Chain A
Amino acid sequence: MKLKSILAAGAVVAVAGAALPAAAQSMVETITDRGELNCGVSTGLAGFSNPDSEGNWTGLDVDVCKAIAAAILGDADAVSYTPATAQQRFTILQSGEVDLLSRNTTWTLTRDTSLGLHFAPITFYDGQGFMVPRELGVTSALELDGAAVCVQPGTTTELNLADYFRANGMEFEPVVIEQLDEVNAAYFSGRCDVYTTDASGLASIRSTVAENPEDHMILPELISKEPLGPAVRQGDDEFFNIVKWVVYALIEAEEYGITSENVDDMRENSDNPGVQRLLGASAGMGENLGLSEDWAYNAIKQVGNYGEIFERNVGVDTPLGLERGYNDLWTRGGLMYAMPVR
């Protein structure tokens, strides 16, 4: 009798549970309660998200996570990183395993719609390129007819590659391998003639994996637009706004010349109302986002402005050695343009 009633009760609960919507707690509340931000990153791409020799995650994408953690929690180190392959990344975001995906992910219409995602502003403008061994004697991507091409599955790269060869009436043999390490190994062992991914990724792989980086060259053609940015789940606009505006704040800070070093000074002494608004010297912006007024101050103080983040991780003085190019501020001819914080 007892057993029966327990089982019956269980069945009722199970059936009823289906009808009940999940208890609604906002993302910001969840993150604050948890005390850390769960951030999805790559399995290791130098310059973007890569664990250093001490196991600390570093890179441009990682710094975006840190800035958001600093804005919400006041502590840039309160981030828990979940490495994900190109294939796992959307599932871990959709299923709620991570709050935010900051993993060199291209913003496309399909991902924005059928995957149920929102993309925050672009943190890196990239394009897909080809890397070949110098000894192959190839100087243009249009000479690649019949080549074996190493590529990671589940990426826009895989689609652009097929489009490009189709558009130019060329054939190719795809060698599609999921794990980054294994694709790298396949290319450097000579299984493929060509390696394709985002140009920044090629630079990263060439500088860190190649025995002799000089033996490999990146072809001049960029065959696609790859706007990379952080993504969140649909359904919590408050959190989406925060992610969006933290990224804008980092860019805006560079525009105003606010760096991690002079941010205290600027907050105390700047007469510029824009700077005062951004750093919380005049109140209102933080309240609108549902955060404390020093949200942007914390992010800039602990992580730096966009320019600092870029130069530290992928800039000319790093092994990747990338120029600002499209990623420079709009005032200097780039595409980085923050919406006004006001």
Chain B
Amino acid sequence: MAVDSDRGASASSKTPFWYDPRFRAIFFQILTVVLVVAGIGYLVSNVMTNLERQNIASGFGFLQREAGFAIAESMVSYSAADTYGRAFIVGILNTFRVALLGIVLATIIGVLVGVARLSTNWLIAKLASVYIEVLRNIPLLLQLFIWYGVITVSLPGPRQAMSPVEGIYLSNRGFMIPAPVADPIHAYMGIAALLALAAGYLIRRWAKQRQIDTGKQFPVYKTSLGLLILFPAIAWVLGGAPTVMELPTLQGFNFRGGLTLTPEFAALLFGLTFYTAAFIAEIVRGGILAVSHGQSEAAFALGLRKGMVLRFIVLPQALRIIIPPTTSQYLNLTKNSSLAVAIGYPDLVSVGNTTLNQTGQAIEAITIFMAVYLTLSLTISLIMNWYNRAIALVER
């Protein structure tokens, strides 16, 4: 013992300190930090020096100045007299809108196609295969151009608009439908819908407990769906049942009034949705195939019906495999929405590029892009990771 510790002590005193693994570990960590900080500092100071030398203005003060350019579609009120800051908000909301809708639609289509590809029906399986192979092997930008071209070239002008039903028009200016005239009751209907969702959640909890206690089942989904329709309907009737609709009408060059789905938004949404759905379909198929066949055989042996096997045995296990790669696809979809600039949908990048060009504040605008996409992506990641943990296999 004594000899050993003695030898250790003498060895360490003879070894130069740079051969000491503890010293090395700390030294290289510090070195890495210093290098990274120095690298960033070098870039920042270089940029500042160069901007100053070339007399290029910098800073975020421009966000308060009047933008002076118009934006085609906006979820909040915006005019050319508003500020660059507000223009950015319009762009961010437009990006958010297309990303959110795209994620929901791509998930639905992706799951359907993924399951269809595993179908025992030859035609359905082949159609799903063709869809996936074609869509995911053509660059998204081309698909956007195709969608945009199809919509603007093949549809007639507003004066010859197709009108399958009175009040609904389809032309190369978009898809116009009547919209209810704004009424304060709409807000209450929204609240009623939220209440219905809460009620549905409570019913589900109660039904589950009852099934555990008594074995009796309760039609949770049908009841919840009924409530979701009933609650807002009651609010609507209580509010005097306003039925005034605003019809899109042809005035001068274009339709006014009603709701419009613009060609730019439609092309971007279709492009993103169908492209991403092809990838999600493959992930879903992989996830389902990864669940051991013995699982469903065992479930059938217990007398479960086909739908129940899928719902209670296969999908819960497949989901654990499906969620992480699907999260990546959601992130891809969100980031790909920046291709909007090619077809004129006023998303964050489109609005930001215009701002960048009018003000010349390239670094500031790009910083805003990065911050927004990073925030959006991290938020999606957080939600999906939380969901992933919620459905993870609980092991003892």
Minimal beta-carbon separation of A225 from chain B (angstroms): 16
Q: Which of B75-90 contact A (CB under 8 A)?
A: 79-81
What residue of chain A has the Cβ atom nearest to residue B31's Cβ?
Answer: A7
Q: Which residues of A contact B34 (CB under 8 A)?
A: 11
Report whether B344 and A176 are in contact in the complex, using a CB–CB cutoff of 8 Å: yes
Instruction: Report the separation of the CA atoms of residues A18 and B39 in the bound assembly, to the nearest whole angstrom.
Output: 10
* Segment at the interface with A among B110-118, B192-200, B277-285, B346-354: B346-354
Report whether B31 and A191 are in contact in the complex, using a CB–CB cutoff of 8 Å: no
Report whether B254 and A173 are in contact in the complex, using a CB–CB cutoff of 8 Å: yes
Q: Which of A108-125 contact B (CB under 8 A)?
A: 110-111, 113-116
Report whether A115 and B354 are in contact in the complex, using a CB–CB cutoff of 8 Å: no
Q: Which residues of B contact A177 (CB under 8 A)?
A: 342-344
**Beta-carbon contacts of A7-22 to B below 8 Å, as 1s and 0s?**
1001100110111010
Instruction: Report the separation of the CA atoms of residues A148 and B346 in the bound assembly, to the nearest whole angstrom.
Output: 14
Given contacts A147-B252, A191-B172, contact A173 B359 (CB under 8 A): no
Report whether A190 and B38 are in contact in the complex, using a CB–CB cutoff of 8 Å: no
Q: Which residues of B contact A148 (CB under 8 A)?
A: 173, 253-254
Interface bin, chain B = 35 or more
* Segment at the interface with A among B46-54, B237-245, B292-300: B46-54
Q: Which residues of B contact A136 (CB under 8 A)?
A: 253
Instruction: Report the separation of the CA atoms of residues A228 and B357 in the bound assembly, to the nearest whole angstrom.
Output: 17
Q: Which of A171-229 contact B (CB under 8 A)?
A: 172-179, 182, 185-186, 189-191, 193
Q: Which of A1-52 contact B (CB under 8 A)?
A: 1, 4, 7, 10-11, 14-15, 17-19, 21
Given contacts A166-B80, A189-B149, contact A172 B70 (CB under 8 A): yes
Report whether B344 and A162 are in contact in the complex, using a CB–CB cutoff of 8 Å: no
Minimal beta-carbon separation of B31 from chain A (angstroms): 6
* B contact set with A: CB distance below 8 Å: 18, 27, 31, 34-35, 38-39, 41-42, 45-46, 49, 51, 53-57, 68-72, 79-81, 145, 149, 152-153, 157, 172-173, 251-254, 256, 263-264, 341-344, 346, 350, 353-354, 356-362
* A contact set with B: CB distance below 8 Å: 1, 4, 7, 10-11, 14-15, 17-19, 21, 86-87, 90-91, 94, 110-111, 113-116, 136, 144-148, 153-155, 158-159, 161-163, 165-166, 172-179, 182, 185-186, 189-191, 193, 233-235
Known pairs A113-B57, A174-B72, A182-B145; list 5 more (Cβ under 8 Å).
A11-B34, A114-B57, A162-B69, A178-B353, A235-B55
